[in-house]
Chain A
Amino acid sequence: MARALRWILVVAGALVMVFPFAWAVVTSLTPEGALFGTPPDLTPDDADLGAYARLLEALPFWRILLNSAWIGLVSTLLQLVTSAMAAYAFARLPFPGRGAVFAVYLATLMVPMQVLVVPLFIEMRAVDLVDTYFAVLAPGIASAFGVFLLRQAVAQVPRELDEAAVLDGAGHVRVFVSIVLPLIRPALATFAIFGFMASWNAYLWPLVIIRSPEFMTLPLGLASLHGQFTTEWNVVMAGSVISVVPILVLYVLAQKHVIASVAQSGLK
């Protein structure tokens, strides 16, 4: 009995989670005239792809999708490289004032994007970089969070391993690339997932810095779509559906690891 109840609750909850996505797909296939019927048309016989066609007319949507993808990939890669290198320095290269420098890194971690948005916008305007790819990417080149996360991982690599390599005549770059990096792969993967999700979903900074449709990322494109087609929900939902599909595919492939990474973050 309790078992059945548990099962019913779990299934009902799952339906609540899936329904909005399913409804977005249904809406995106509904012709405009049928949008505002009551009750809503759950199985439109006259389903068509008109909303998708209108979406592609209204915005350079494939380009926006591509923008999000490559900005996400590049910023994730840059953050991985810059953070791992700094992590190595903080864990393995003692130098005077290292603690203080690390404290500054941690301090930047605590300052939220919304404090930075205004001055960062002004800074970009001063060097005439408003509405460029570089401006969207700039805050995503380095990540104090990544340095913090990866430093823990590097510190856990047994020191004997790199000491042995140093005795064999390997320099720090060699030790870093061929000993430390392979050993912190799980932490790198975790950070890559967080980094990519953060970039893919970022809204506030792109909203402030980007004007032209051709430089927009997905969240921005979708929001502007909503401003443009206030009542054409089928077009807005078509954009939402297209934007969810790539991340969904990635998620299905890496699902176990994504969830494990998040679970890990709470155990510390």
Chain B
Amino acid sequence: MSAPPDTVAPVRRAGSERPGRPRRSRSARLRYAGIVAFFLLPSAIPLALFTLVPMAGSLWVSLHEWDLITPMTWAGLGNYAELLADPATRAAFLHTVAFIAGYLPLVYAGGLGLAVLLNRAMPARDLFRAVYFLPVITSWVVVALMWKWLLNPRSGVVNWLLGVFGIEGPGWWTDPAWAMPSVILASAWKDLGFVMVIMLAGLQAIPREYLDAARVDGAGALARFRYVTLPLLSPSTFFVIVISLINGFQVFDQVHVMTGGGPGGATQVVVEQVYDLTFRYGRAGDASALSWLLFAVVLVVTLAQVRAQRRWVTYG
């Protein structure tokens, strides 16, 4: 989600007519158009059918009342107005924000910490890096199932372990107060390795001379980290934050498997709400409107990030 590429316009090269742009006869032009179509249509047709048409369809449905069975009736912006007034919408967004608020700091601090630890030479470093990355390649469903079992209140290993230390473990995903932390824990565990790899790449791109210079000037390890490493890592941090926010707002798989939005709606996030509205309550119009509201929020948050980056992201 960096700045949109502005290199779309063909690069003009001084003094040379570009090959492949025949401006001769009509048949040559037609032939060229055919070549362009040949290269473009294999992606353009599926994207039109399975992305553009549904996008337009989704906007259209969002302006109607529709139970997916009987004919739809026009509602105008009524669905949007209804959703904005509905406390369930506010709750869904609040739960989503709560998820992000728990998940992002955890995964960022953990990932950065691991990256710093692994940035220096040590035995079997590549092995450790591979191990930390293992959950990233595992599907959300598997991760959610494994953690649901680990966090089983009655016979899960985690509560047993806590019991060994004399702590009575909470009810985790069965307890409304602990359900969201359970989802956050599983999510952070899965994505830790991803953040670590991004931050590690950022760390390794920092020129040694900068750190050496700071050392010569008498900066201690902490000062070097705070005033040299962190600012130079800001592009990686920016990337992690933008991606995590986008993914965080769209959180669904792990919630659907671990709690299904429960208990008592405690983890009812926005996409879970979209899913329920459509397939449980047959309110396709409201579901579509809600998904566009979410899209608008993600867009605004992402654009705000891109704007704000000027103030804190240093491109060395």
Q: A: which residues have CB within 8 A of B?
A: 6-7, 9-10, 13-14, 16-18, 20-21, 23-24, 27, 35-40, 81-83, 85-86, 88-90, 92-95, 98-99, 101-106, 108, 110-123, 138-139, 141-144, 147-148, 152, 155, 159, 162-163, 166-167, 171-173, 176, 197, 200-201, 203-204, 207-208, 218-220, 222-223, 226, 233, 236-237, 240, 243-244, 247-248, 251, 255-256, 258-259, 262-268
The answer on a CB contact under 8 Å between B252 and A267 is no
The answer on a CB contact under 8 Å between A118 and B288 is yes
Q: How far is B110's CA from A16's CA once the two chains are assembled, in angstroms? A: 12
Query: Given contacts A36-B155, A98-B8, A114-B274, could you give 8 more A-B pairs where the C-beta distance is less than 8 Å?
Result: A86-B43, A114-B252, A138-B49, A162-B19, A163-B19, A203-B139, A248-B134, A267-B236
The answer on a CB contact under 8 Å between B117 and A10 is yes
Q: Which residues between 60 and 74 of chain B lie within 8 Å of chain A, taking CB atoms?
A: 60-61, 68
* A105: chain B residues within 8 A (beta carbon): 43, 47
Known: A14-B128, A90-B8, A172-B39. A266 touches B201 (CB 8 A): yes
Known: A17-B134, A118-B61, A142-B47. A267 touches B20 (CB 8 A): no
Looking at B40, B136, B155, the one whose CB has the most chain A CB atoms below 10 A away is B40
Minimal Cβ-Cβ distance residue in A for B52: A108
Minimum C-beta distance from B292 to chain A (A): 7
Q: How far is B287's CA from A116's CA once the two chains are assembled, in angstroms? A: 11
The answer on a CB contact under 8 Å between B8 and A264 is no
* A98: chain B residues within 8 A (beta carbon): 8, 10
| B170 interface contact, C-beta 8 A | no
The answer on a CB contact under 8 Å between A21 and B141 is no
Give the dominant DSSP class at B's interface. Answer: helix
The answer on a CB contact under 8 Å between B47 and A36 is no
Q: How far is B38's CA from A106's CA once the two chains are assembled, in angstroms? A: 20
The answer on a CB contact under 8 Å between B146 and A266 is no
* A143: chain B residues within 8 A (beta carbon): 43
Q: How far is B38's CA from A82's CA once the two chains are assembled, in angstroms? A: 10
- Number of chain B residues whose Cβ lies closer than 8 Å to a Cβ of chain A: 106
Q: How far is B201's CA from A143's CA once the two chains are assembled, in angstroms? A: 26
Minimum C-beta distance from B136 to chain A (A): 8
Q: How far is B30's CA from A95's CA once the two chains are assembled, in angstroms? A: 12
* B58: chain A residues within 8 A (beta carbon): 115-116, 118-119
* B128: chain A residues within 8 A (beta carbon): 10, 14
Q: How far is B139's CA from A244's CA once the two chains are assembled, in angstroms? A: 8
Known: A118-B291, A243-B139. A21 touches B146 (CB 8 A): yes
| B279 interface contact, C-beta 8 A | yes
Known: A40-B157, A82-B46. A119 touches B54 (CB 8 A): yes
Looking at A17, A236, A259, A266, the one whose CB has the most chain B CB atoms below 10 A away is A266
| B278 interface contact, C-beta 8 A | yes
Q: How far is B246's CA from A27's CA once the two chains are assembled, in angstroms? A: 34
Minimal Cβ-Cβ distance residue in A for B238: A266
Q: How far is B128's CA from A94's CA once the two chains are assembled, in angstroms? A: 47
Q: Which of B171-179, B190-198, B210-218, B224-232 forms part of the interface with chain A?
A: B190-198
The answer on a CB contact under 8 Å between A85 and B51 is no
Contact with A along B28-49 (1 / 0, CB 8 A): 0000110110111011111101
